[in-house]
Structures are given as structure tokens and as C-alpha cells.
Amino acid sequence: MDMRTKRCFVFDLDGTVYLGDRPIQPTVDFIKRNLGEKEIFFLSNNTSRNLADYVAKLAAFGLDVGIERILSPLVPLVDYLGETGIDRIYPVGNASLQGYLRQRMPNLVFTAGDDCQAVVLGYDTDLTYAKLETSCLLLQRPEVRFLATHPDRVCPSPRGPLPDVGSFVKLYEEATGRVPDRVFGKPNPAILAPLLKRFAAEEMVMVGDRLSTDMKLAENAGIDFILVLSGEARRADLAEIAYRPALILDHLGAL
């Protein structure tokens, strides 16, 4: 891979730029050196935070970027709700997710009533049994759509992996027999649609720490992938995988 031809870098966040609240400093330094020289975007499947939350978190690490640089499954989710005319949902998500949806869609109604059109499952850090009960009962109705923001089974943290939307999906499948009708985040290349319209595939590179989401997204979108070993993946994980990253690095400080 010739780095000189790359105009657009898309960085995964947790496990790549930081781990929990701790920056992965060599990668942060690489981004600082290249801001203004390259088009740099940040992509996270973690929908327990909204786009403004990520802008603030990156600023705490000395990375001052606008909200237009943040890519999240929440963006194609809102687009889908608007395109399909869904305006009555039951959100399984925390206050940050709910606040973003209300801001982007002022006419959106949160309801568990007979008028509910969809259950929207995000990474709910405030999950309660009452939410599980209500959403499972709604999903007994076949006309209620089941929408999930992303498929990650776990969320990395300094203390170890924590259950994420993919784990919740397994619970719903066991309890209701339903799996999501639509999943919006990585590795669905639709999340990169705005960038794929601006840049040629050979000008783009994805940087991430996960094979099942970050690397698979790069493969699905037809762009190069740099695997960093600062998060989930290890070299041994690549043994039985046909797709190969363009580079494998401990962190971006190696460039």
C-alpha cells in the first residue's frame, strides 16, 4: 500500500484511538501530524454516545475536529426512519442516543403503544429489565420492525470486554425468535456512503482493531485496511482469514 496515494483516513475509535478514557498516544500523535494534510474521519459503532459526545472526547485528547468528521450508525438510522416514514418507535438506548434522535427528528414519538412501528436497539448502558420486557412484547407483533444500530458482541474497556448490541441481539433471538430486520453500523458499507461519493476507493483507508467489523467493513467497501494491535485483534486471529490487511501495526506511531 502506497500511503502517498491515500487522501482519506477513517479511524475506528475505541481500541484504535483510545481505550476507554485512555488515549493510545502514538496514534493520537499520528492524527495530529496529519490533520489538515489528509481528510481524516472517525467512525464508531458505539451508540451509547452521540456525535457531539465524540467531538468532546476527541477534544480532550487534543484532537479538535468538527461534528462532520464523526461517522456513526445513528446517521443512517435516522436516514432510514425518514425514508420509510417511521416516526413512532420504542428506543432501547440511553439518554445520549434518545437525545440525538429527538434532535434530528423533532416529530419522532417514543411509544410502547399499539402505534409503535419499530423497536430500535442501541448500546444501552442504562438497560433495565423493564425495557427488555416492553421491547420483547412489542416484537411479538410481526408488523413492528426490529432495527439494531450495530452488530458488535462486546465493547472494549480497560477492565475487559463488556456486552454490546450483538450480545443483546442473541437475548432477543432467544426470547422472541426475532433477529434485526436492519443493522446500520460496521461492517455495512452504507455507513461510508458519504465518503465513497467523495473519494475513489483506492484513495481511502480504514484503520481499526477489529476483524469482524473494521476489517470486514474495509473488505465490503473495497478499500484498504490497516490493522492495529492496540485493541481486540491479535496476529494469530488472522491465521484462517483469506482477506489480508494492507498493514499490521501495533499503533499508527509506527508510520
Is the per-residue pLDDT at 242 higher than 80? no
pLDDT > 90? residue 189: yes
Q: Which three cell numbers stand for residue 186?
A: 460496521
Element (H, E) at 106: none
Residue whose C-alpha is closest to residue 17's, from 8, 9, 27:
27
Write down all domains in the chain, each with its CATH number in brackets.
3-72+186-254 (3.40.50.1000), 74-182 (3.40.50.1000)
* Residue 67: per-residue pLDDT: 94
Give the model confidence (pLDDT) of 191-224 as tens digits.
Answer: 999 999 999 999 999 999 988 899 999 999 999 9
- Residue 254, pLDDT above cutoff 80: no
Query: What are 93-109's pLDDT values in tens digits?
Result: 999 999 999 999 999 99
Instruction: Identify the sign of the CA torsion 203, 205, 219, 244.
Output: positive
Q: Produce one character per residue of 204-240: b if its CB has 16 or more CB atoms within 10 Å, e if not.
A: bbbbbbbbbbbbbbbbebebbbbbbebbbbeeeebee
Most confident of 114-118, 237-241, 248-252: 114-118
How far, in Å, CA of 143 to CA of 29, rounded? 49
- Above 90 in pLDDT, residue 36? no
Question: Residue 167's pLDDT is what?
Answer: 96
* pLDDT attached to residue 158: 73
Average pLDDT rounded to a whole number, residues 5-24: 92
Verify cis geometry, omega within 30 degrees of 0, for the bond prior to 187. Answer: yes
Confidence of residue 235 (pLDDT cuts 50, 70, 90): confident
Q: Does the pLDDT value for residue 111 go beyond 80?
A: yes
pLDDT at 161: 81
In this prediction, residue 103 carries a pLDDT of: 93
Q: Give the mean pLDDT of 173-177.
A: 97
In the chain, pLDDT over 70 holds for what percent of residues?
100
Give dist(CA 66, CA 43) in Å, integer.
13
Strand partners, 27: none
The pLDDT of 162-187, averaged and rounded, is 96
φ/ψ of 153, rounded to 5, equals: -75, -35
Question: Which position has the grid cell 411509544?
Answer: 111
Strand ranges in 54-209 using DSSP code E only, listed in sequence order: 70-71, 88-92, 109-110, 118-121, 145-148, 154-155, 162-163, 182-183, 204-208
Residue 243 has pLDDT above 90, yes or no: no
Where are the extended beta strands (E) located within 24-71?
Answer: 39-43, 70-71
